[in-house]
Amino acid sequence: MNDRIVISTDNARVLRGLLSRRSNARLDAEHLDDLSAELDRALVQDPSELAPTVVTMYARVRVLDLASGRRQELTLVSPGEADVSGGLISVLAPVGTALLGYRTGDVIERAMPGGIRRLLIEEVTQPAALASESRTH
């Protein structure tokens, strides 16, 4: 696993906005601290330079839980857009923060509610790719 995540300048701007409102978010303080730590170690790149295999906000991500064998498809979104039942995971949720900036093939290991989880990122589909898919069908 690469120790340094990569995020787009657009994502960095949105995420720093979330962090700037941290005084109003007492309930999310721990999650905001985790996000801040991720941003501090991130390599920020122009979106045009980002590989399509990098997990960004609004990317659809298929992960495999290495302990249970369970696969999930998730989309990272801002906290107000989260809908767990629809697979829309807040970037502030432990799994959302953990996935951000990693790539297809990476294994992340993170403490989450319920214990340590090891997830293999099997596939990442970027939002622009989703839009072009829907125009061709």
Question: What is the per-residue pLDDT for 28?
Answer: 61
State which residues form the domain around 52: 6-136
Q: What is the CATH number of the domain that holds 51?
A: 3.10.50.30
In Å, how far from its chain's centre is CA 91? 6
pLDDT, one tens digit per residue, over 39-65 is 888 889 998 898 999 999 999 999 999
Terminal CA-CA length for the chain: 36
- Domain count for the chain, please give it: 1
Q: Is residue 51 assigned to a domain?
A: yes
Q: Is residue 91 assigned to a domain?
A: yes
Across 78-95, average pLDDT: 90
Q: Is residue 1 assigned to a domain?
A: no
Strands 60-65 and 71-77: antiparallel
For residue 2, pLDDT over 70 is answered with no
Contact (CB, 8 A) for 28 and 79: yes
